[in-house]
Amino acid sequence: MSDDSQKPLGVIILIGGSLAVAAFCYAAYLITWRYSHWTIPTESMNPTLAVGDWILARGSKFNCGAVTPKLGDIVIHSNDPPFYFIRRVVAGPGDKVEMDEGRLVLNDKPVDLRLTTTVKTNTQNQQQPQSLYRETLPNGRSYQILDAVSDSIGDTFGPTVVPAGHWFLMGDHRDNSNDSRFEGAVPAERICAIAFRRLGGSDKQHKPGPL
């Protein structure tokens, strides 16, 4: 067989190899820079996210500041790398924020807050009754929050105005979250990713699905 007869096969192998390398590089780019997965380590986002839940997010710790959240988004941020935290965006740049007896007030208007039920949740390995509310932000984003203790230290806050280029973040478990009420608004360059889907977890009530 002549050498010329081998050329088409060699070209096919070369092209196929190049495509495989390109596909691998693109997948690595997506996994490293465009998307990331995280495991929830604490109770600060109960009842939305439980300890041990796995979530998928747009953005990654390698590209903090590249994503722009909206009110109601769940974001992963870093105050002190390599430590990362997950909280919900409740106010943006220029917004006036206040907590009045446990109720969020934005730009002098209390957000819609409705008691839905009382549940028992595990807090520090003990079953405790907690009030479950549905909070709705001005843009229509709605989610559930937990209120474990009346008149807790975080139930009264502000008012304060969120600085330009910052976001005000809070945990859905309002009495078990060290968030912007205590640490201040988070600079945009420290917002690393926006969570959009739960992949699974240890809590059977938290099934896979969008966030």
Check: CB of residue 52 under 8 Å from CB of residue 38: no
Q: What is the pLDDT of residues 34-88, one digit of tens each?
A: 899 999 999 999 999 999 999 999 999 998 999 999 999 999 999 776 789 999 9
User: What's the domain count of the chain?
Assistant: 1
H or E element, residue 87: strand 83-91
Q: Is residue 20 part of a domain?
A: no
Q: Is residue 177 part of a domain?
A: yes
- Amino acid letter, residue 178: N
> Residue 202 forms beta bridges with which residues?
none
Q: Is residue 192 part of a domain?
A: yes
- Which domain range does residue 173 map to? 36-202
Q: Is residue 3 part of a domain?
A: no
On whether the pTM is more than 0.85, the answer is no
The domain spanning residue 56 has which CATH number? Answer: 2.10.109.10
